[in-house]
Amino acid sequence: MKVLWGLGKILMVLFWGVALYNVFKPLINPFDLLINLAGSLLLLTHLLEILLFNRSLRDRPHPWRDRLYILLLGVLHVQTFRPSTERDPSHA
């Protein structure tokens, strides 16, 4: 499962790179609008996640760094907040 979360983080950073590139040097016509729209909606979603998880961010050692990571990665970084609830293998 950690591999999938890591792959998701890599893809998210790649998307932000494409969106930032599109701001400075727009791609061909329908794609530039679609990337700008997707980037705007994703940024809005990540800002809402920061607002929703603000209370749990206060207890973290570096809350501003976590806010920056949530702005960049969203829920993929929020998953690291929750403690692991793995079951004891003897109960299997």
Q: Could you tell me the residue ranges of all domains in the chain?
A: 2-81
pLDDT-derived band of residue 91, with 50, 70 and 90 as boundaries?
A: low
Mean pLDDT confidence for 32-38: 94
Alpha carbon distance 75, 55 (integer Å): 15
Instruction: Please say if the pLDDT value at position 85 is more than 60.
Output: no
pLDDT-derived band of residue 88, with 50, 70 and 90 as boundaries?
A: low
Return the sign of the alpha-carbon dihedral for residues 70, 72, 76, 80: negative
- Give the three-class secondary structure for 77: helix
- Number of Cβ within 10 Å of residue 39's Cβ equals 17
pLDDT-derived band of residue 37, with 50, 70 and 90 as boundaries?
A: very high
CA-angle at 87, arms to 74 and 61, nearest 5°: 40
- Number of Cβ within 10 Å of residue 66's Cβ equals 19
- pLDDT for 12 equals 93
